[in-house]
Amino acid sequence: MSGPYSTKVMEHFANPRNVGEIENPDGVGNVGNPVCGDIMRMTIRVEDGVITDAKFKTFGCGAAIATSSMATELVKGKSIEEALKVTNKAVAESLGGLPPIKMHCSMLAEEALKSAIDDHLRRTTGEGLPGFKPGDYMAHEHEADEIAARLKGK
């Protein structure tokens, strides 16, 4: 019998990579998922514009753990510009897909990463990520609205 999760999701959930916190990080992102109330903190190390390390801590579900694990793996070694292209959809694809109802969980990882990059840019250039408002989670996630409405109707 196969469940709703791919083998890769289950593997990253069972053995998440990069759990923890970087000491004296170059960027910190703290985000919450308004759909479920789960929270996440991501810390990054940036050297010469390249993300050399990324770690996360979450009080979140299995899909949030698996997507953060994959997201931190994917951004390590990437420039900030390249890391910004690591969307929640790209992360979900790398994991072999997620059930539609759990796609909002993958937003937590994307949002935490963007928030950490935003924080890094603020520290180094005085200006954050263009168009990114910390805590503005719902702004670019209409899927979450849909899911919230569905959950409410339960």
Q: Output DSSP code: residue 19.
A: B
Identify whether the C-beta of residue 13 lies closer than 8 Å to the C-beta of residue 62. yes
HSE value, Cβ hemisphere, 13 Å, CA-based, for 29: 34
Q: Which of residues 104-133 bind ligand FES (CB under 6 A)?
A: 105, 108
Binding piece for ligand FES, criterion CB under 6 A, among 13-21, 55-63, 92-100, 132-140: 55-63
Query: Among residues 63, 91, 98, 105, which one is catalytic?
Result: 105
Q: CB 64 → ligand FES: shortest distance, Å? A: 4
Pick left, alpha or beta for residue 131 (phi over 0 → left; psi -120 to 50 → alpha; otherwise beta).
Answer: left
Q: Which of 22, 31, 51, 64 binds ligand FES (CB under 6 A)?
A: 64
What 3-state DSSP class applies to 128? coil
Binding map of ligand FES across residues 23-42, x = CB under 6 A, - = no contact: ----------x--x-x----
| d(C-alpha 29, C-alpha 41), whole Å | 6
61 catalytic? Reply is: no
Q: Which stretch binds ligand FES (CB under 6 A): 59-67, 75-83, 119-127, 130-138?
A: 59-67
Per DSSP, the three-state class of 27 is: strand
Given candidates 22, 46, 63, 71, which one binds ligand FES under the rule CB under 6 A? 63
Residue 37 neighbours by CB distance under 10 Å: 9
The answer to whether residues 31 and 67 touch, using CB atoms and an 8 Å cutoff, is no
Q: In terms of CB distance, is 46 or 105 closer to ligand FES?
A: 105
Of 36, 39, 90, 138, the active-site residue reads 36
Residues that bind ligand FES (CB under 6 A): 33, 36, 38, 60-61, 63-64, 105, 108
